[in-house]
Structure 1
Amino acid sequence: MFKLDARTDIAELSKALRTLGQKQLPFALALMATRLAVLVRKGELSVLRERLDRPTSTTMNSLYTKAAKKGSPEARTFFKDSWTSGVPADTYLQQVVKGGRRPHKRFEKALIAKGVMAPGQYAIPAPSSLNQFGNVPRGLIMKILSGLGAAETVSGVQANATGSKRSKRKGNADKYFAGDVDGAQGIWERRKTAFGDAVRPVFIFSESEPGYRVIVPFYKIADNIVQANRAKEFASAMDQALATAKR
């Protein structure tokens, strides 16, 4: 989250008071902060679109601006921090913005809790598991967890594969398994091919903690936009405050 406080230095404040008077000053400061926050959002989206690999519409629509008010001259530009379901953008974009090591995802925590994966391991998706956006579809995640008996750890409901006819028709328990294949530990999918039965990797377990470099220096971008546009937006806000002042 980037907070933009419209409170200004003594020189600017003195000028604004002389020009606008005490009554219109809060309006002008709030207007300046809001306009700058909108510019920050626009600039951040441009960089996200350029630097992220096939960002989803959900990701691109997750950046919001909260307008400043006369009584609270602070505007904000922030990623949405809650969804009705799934991981919010404020959480999964932290590595993109800040870099550093990646913590275990809920999927991995479920595997660890079930004993499928060791606490020090990480599940790295095979290329065949990724969709057009470079993500593992949630439906595939749930099928795997169901087949491995770890679904209730994540979903909070009984979604594991059972011996029922309905569950057997889905085939998740037969299709997915965890183990070592040719020296590689991971989660595998059983497949039938023209040449007979085969397996292919869905996730490979890694002992190395995944790390991320900073892809979008969110705060630096925001600071640069504010510095480049503050004087212009301050003057524009003062003009509008004067034009709308009651005579």
Structure 2
Amino acid sequence: MLDLKLDIDSVALAREISDIQRKQIPFALVLAQTRLATNRIKPGILKVMGQRLDRPTPTTMRSLFAQAATKTRPAKVWFKDSWTTGIPADAYLQQAVQGGSRPHKRFEKSLIAQGLMKSGQYAVPSGDYLNQYGNVARGTMTRILSGLGAAESELGYQANATNSKRSQRKGNAQRYFTGTIGDESGVWERKARKEVKPVFLYTDGAPQYRVIFPFYKIGENIGKAHGQSELANALRDSILTAK
């Protein structure tokens, strides 16, 4: 989360106004912070996100929020930290923002919990199963976990494949399996003519990421570049509209 604070004493106009006009300073600070967050920093960060991230999804591009300032709270720019479903952006963007090792994803944790993958392994998707955003579709992962018996819902209902006719028609239990073929271990899909293809291959050790989207640095640079001009404009507007 990026908090925005501005220094009114650095604005030349603030040293030239009267005591009556000086009463407008608190309102000018609130106005300037809000304009800086919503009109400068948020659009600037979104532009860099589109340039730096690999095929960001529409959900990712909608995950950035700007909060207006008040007299007691600075303006803020942050990633939404919760969604009705799915993984929040502030969790899955951490590797792009900070770099380093990737933690286990929910899909991997389910495999580990069922003994289908070792705790030190990670599941890397095959390129054939990636969608236009470079991800494996959530529906595909759900079908895999269901077929492997690893999709028990936290809400208490049965999500795994069973012997029911409806479940058998879906065929997930016959389609997906884990194991080692040749030198590769992972999750496999049975195709036609007894062919099998890897959906996820297991690797030892966490994938490593470099920083490609320095969120805080970008926001701070935009704030430094435009903060004082926004504050000067807000102070001028506040004085002109003062009653």
TM-score bracket relative to the smaller structure: over 0.9
Does residue 1:212 correspond to 2:209, yes or no?
yes
SS at match of 2:191: strand
Report the secondary structure of 2:131's partner residue. Answer: coil
Aligned match of 1:235: 232
Partner in structure 1 of residue 108 of structure 2? 108
Q: Distance in 1 between matches of 2:17 and 2:112?
A: 61
Q: Whole-Å Cα distance in 2 between the matches of residues 122 and 155 of structure 1?
A: 26
**Separation of aligned partners in 1, 2:117 and 2:194:** 25
Q: Is the 8 A contact 2:146 2:159 kept in 1?
A: yes
Distance in 2 of aligned mates of 1:86 and 1:33: 32
**Percent pairwise identity:** 53
- 1:35 is matched with which residue? 35
- Residue 151 of structure 1: SS of its match in structure 2? coil
- Matched residue of 1:64: which SS? strand
In structure 2, do the counterparts of structure 1 residues 73 and 99 end up closer, same or farther at CA, with 3 Å as the change threshold?
A: same
1:226 aligned partner, one-letter code: G
TM-score if structure 1 supplies the norm length?
0.92
In the TM superposition, what is the alpha-carbon distance from 1:148 to its structure 2 partner? 0.5
Secondary structure in structure 1 of the residue aligned to 2:224: helix
Aligned length: 241
CA RMSD of aligned residues (A): 1.8
The higher relative CO (CA closer than 8 Å, separation ≥ 6) is in 2
Query: Which structure 2 segments of 5+ residues have no match?
Result: none
Map of 2:183 onto structure 1: 183
Structure 1 residues 20, 62: CA separation in 2 closer, same or farther (over 3 Å shift)?
Answer: farther
Report the alpha carbon displacement of residue 72 of structure 1 after superposing the two structures with TM. 2.0
* Structure 1: distance between partners of 2:180 and 2:16: 71
What are the equivalent positions in structure 2 for 1:1-247 lying under 5 Å apart?
A: 1-6=1-6, 8=7, 10-12=9-11, 15=15, 18=18, 21-38=21-38, 39-69=40-70, 71-152=71-152, 156-192=156-192, 196-246=193-243
Q: CA deviation at 1:183?
A: 1.5
Distance 2:15 2:156 in 1: 59
Q: Which amino acid aligns with 1:97?
A: V
SS of residue matched to 2:189: strand
Normalising by structure 2, we get a TM-score of 0.94
Q: Please give the per-residue CA displacement for 1:96-119, whole angstroms capped at 9, x wherever unaligned.
A: 111111000111011000000000
- One-letter code of the match for 1:134? G
Q: Secondary structure at the match of 2:227?
A: helix
CA contact (8 A) 1:17 1:25 kept: no
Structure 1 residues 233, 80: CA separation in 2 closer, same or farther (over 3 Å shift)?
A: same
Q: Are 1:110 and 1:153, in contact at CA under 8 Å, matched by a contact in 2?
A: no
Structure 1: runs of 5 or more not aligned = none
Q: Tell me the distance in 1 between the aligned counterparts of 2:5 and 2:20.
A: 19
Distance across 2 between alignment mates of 1:100 and 1:219: 16
